[in-house]
């Protein structure tokens, strides 16, 4: 294992200190695992978080017009309720806090426990759950769909709505609409190494890829021989569109597109995939309103990518276009 680090047990604390030193607009709540905006605003607060290892998610999205605080757990591990409670406190201006939770059992349990404690402190809080990964069937009997890169669009939409002065109820309603209009799916070409473990979590042969792999190395829909970029685009986007059609028409729809790298995929390859995805969407008469290409929600040094589509209406367009100064999201 080759990594630029000191002791594995200190890597999250040292990373968060480094983030704060690179961005004068945020503070690091040492010992709490929280990155928060330095400037407090008289509006609804927006927080998110989860396990580390997905950088720039979530601390890279703390800024005016996006998140007010990000709560960081250990690598691929949910932060505990005390850390999340600190995030709520940092984001709370008295107008309430909306928590954006990815659909993992640990995140849901710990964030909702923190919400209960916050309410005992007379703080108003609510939440939305992002479950954009169409590789996994949604279910009332299990956690169901995972929250992956589409979560970043929810950060932006909710952050813009709150910055515009909306109430907690209004911000939640708009964030929920974004959740309903987002679909993602990914493919992995290699595994990653958790610093404290020191070995890959799974193995793919040179000519293999895993379709629908989760951002923590969870299984996808199956292994396949390595495909071309054109074939990958068709596999991922066709599955996304099929899922959209279960609840909303995509005929002549307008979308925001995110081509997200998982940590070790060169931008060259992401732009090749973007070209193929856009050609596929054009053939389906779906208009791409705005495109985002880069590393938005990674899995350490995993090689691979995901594709996210956000179906837009006028309100979601306005929120997507609104200015923000989060260091890792540019509009």
- Supply the pTM of this predicted model: 0.97
- Give the pLDDT of residue 331: 86
pLDDT in tens, 263-304: 999 999 999 999 999 999 999 999 999 999 999 999 999 999
Q: For 301, what's the count of Cα atoms within 13 Å in the CB-facing half-sphere?
A: 11
Beta carbons of 137 and 145 less than 8 angstroms apart: yes
Task: Give all strands (DSSP E) within the chain, no chain letters.
Answer: 26-29, 34-37, 45-52, 69-75, 97-102, 125-130, 182-188, 208-211, 222-225, 254-261, 287-294, 304-311
pLDDT classification of 113: cutoffs 50, 70, 90: very high
Residue 6 class from Cβ within 10 Å (0-12 exposed, 13-18 middle, 19+ buried)? exposed
Q: Give, as one character, the DSSP assignment of residue 80.
A: P
What whole-number distance in Å separates Cα of residue 154 and Cα of residue 150?
7
- Give the pLDDT of residue 140: 45
Q: CA dihedral in degrees (73, 76, 78, 84; nearest 10)? A: 30
Domain boundaries, the chain: 12-180, 182-312
CATH tag for 182-312 (out of 3.40.50.1400, 3.30.1180.20, 3.20.20.70, 3.40.1190.10): 3.30.1180.20
- Give the pLDDT of residue 138: 63
- Give the pLDDT of residue 217: 84
For 68, the token pair is: 């007010």
Q: Choose, from 37, 177, 216, 239, the residue flagged as catalytic.
A: 216
pLDDT in tens, 148-171: 999 999 999 999 999 999 999 999
User: 3-state class of 112 per DSSP?
Assistant: helix
Q: Indicate if the pLDDT at residue 193 is higher than 50.
A: yes
113 to 1, 79, 107, 144, 295: CA distances (angstroms)? 36, 11, 10, 20, 31
Q: Choose, from 32, 54, 83, 161, the residue flagged as catalytic.
A: 54
User: 3-state class of 28 per DSSP?
Assistant: strand
216 classed as catalytic: yes
Residues 6 or more apart from 201 whose CB is under 8 A from it? 191, 192, 193, 194, 217
| 139 vs 324 pLDDT, higher one | 324
54 classed as catalytic: yes
Neighbours of 322 (CB within 10 A): 17
Q: For 7, what's the count of Cα atoms within 13 Å in the CB-facing half-sphere?
A: 3
Assigned architecture for domain 12-180:
3-Layer(aba) Sandwich (3.40)
If we measure between CA atoms, which residue out of 92, 88, 171 comes closest to residue 128? Answer: 171
227 to 189, 207, 233: CA distances (angstroms)? 10, 9, 10
Q: What does pLDDT average to over the chain?
A: 95
- Give the pLDDT of residue 220: 84
What whole-number distance in Å separates Cα of residue 84 and Cα of residue 33?
9
pLDDT in tens, 125-149: 999 999 999 998 764 434 679 999 9
């Amino acid at each position: 294992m080759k990594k630029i680090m000191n002791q594995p047990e200190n890597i999250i604390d040292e990373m968060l200190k480094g983030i704060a030193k690179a961005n004068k607009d945020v503070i690091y709540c040492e010992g709490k695992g929280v990155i928060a905006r330095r400037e407090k605003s008289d509006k609804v607060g927006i927080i998110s978080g989860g396990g580390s290892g997905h950088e720039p998610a979530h601390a890279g999205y703390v800024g005016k017009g996006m998140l007010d605080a990000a709560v960081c757990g250990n690598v691929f591990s949910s932060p505990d309720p005390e850390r999340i409670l600190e995030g709520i406190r940092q984001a709370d201006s008295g107008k309430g806090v909306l928590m954006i939770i990815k659909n993992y059992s640990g995140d849901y349990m710990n964030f909702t426990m923190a919400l209960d404690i916050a309410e005992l402190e007379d703080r108003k809080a609510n939440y939305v759950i992002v479950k954009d990964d169409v590789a996994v069937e949604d279910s009332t009997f299990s956690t169901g769909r995972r929250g992956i890169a589409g979560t970043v669009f929810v950060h932006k939409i909710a952050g813009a709505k709150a910055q515009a002065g909306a109430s907690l109820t209004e911000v939640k309603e708009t964030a929920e609409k974004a959740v309903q209009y987002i679909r993602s799916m990914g493919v992995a070409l290699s595994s990653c190494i958790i610093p404290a473990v020191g070995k890959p979590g799974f193995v793919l042969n040179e000519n293999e890829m895993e379709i629908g792999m989760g951002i923590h190395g969870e299984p996808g829909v199956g292994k396949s021989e390595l495909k071309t970029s054109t074939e990958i685009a068709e596999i991922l986007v066709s599955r996304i569109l099929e899922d959209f059609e279960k609840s909303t028409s995509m005929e002549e729809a307008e979308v925001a597109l995110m081509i997200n790298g998982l940590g070790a995929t060169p931008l060259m390859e992401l732009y090749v995939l973007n070209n193929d995805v856009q050609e596929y969407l054009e053939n389906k008469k779906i208009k791409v309103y705005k495109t985002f290409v880069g590393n938005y929600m990674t899995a350490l040094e995993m090689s691979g990518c995901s594709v996210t589509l956000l179906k837009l209406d006028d309100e979601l367009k306005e929120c997507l276009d609104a200015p923000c100064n989060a260091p890792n999201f540019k509009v």
